[in-house]
């Protein structure tokens, strides 16, 4: 999946999950989303892209570009689903 496909899917998620009719702005997401909206978006991204954000991933995400980059990295380098649960 390329960057444009990720951005398109993110725009769809923002519309359906957050009920925002415009694309997310390129600036700091915390200026545009409250904590509930941000959490809702994280869960929707994880479900839609079949990835899992680690706490350090979430802490490092500030902009839309960060979101796209993190999704791309997780899609390109999937981690084993079972970690310490064995």
List pLDDT tens digits, range 12-40.
999 999 998 887 778 888 888 898 999 99
pLDDT given at position 59: 86
* Percent share of the chain, pLDDT over 70: 91
How would residue 79 be classed by pLDDT, with cut points 50, 70 and 90?
low
- What is the pLDDT averaged over residues 79-83? 49
Cα-based distances in Å from 34 to 10, 31, 68, 78:
17, 8, 19, 29
pLDDT given at position 81: 46
CB 70 within 8 A of CB 53: yes
- What is the pLDDT averaged over residues 61-68? 92
- What are the chain's domains? 3-76 (1.10.1200.10)
């Amino acid at each position: 999946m390329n960057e444009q496909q990720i951005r398109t899917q993110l725009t769809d998620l923002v519309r359906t999950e957050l009920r925002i009719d415009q694309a997310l702005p390129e600036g700091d997401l915390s200026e545009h989303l409250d904590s509930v909206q941000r959490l809702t978006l994280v869960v929707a991204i994880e479900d839609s892209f079949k990835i899992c954000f680690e706490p350090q991933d979430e802490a490092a995400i500030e902009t839309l570009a960060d979101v796209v980059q993190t999704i791309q990295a997780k899609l390109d380098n999937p981690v084993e689903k079972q970690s310490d649960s064995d």
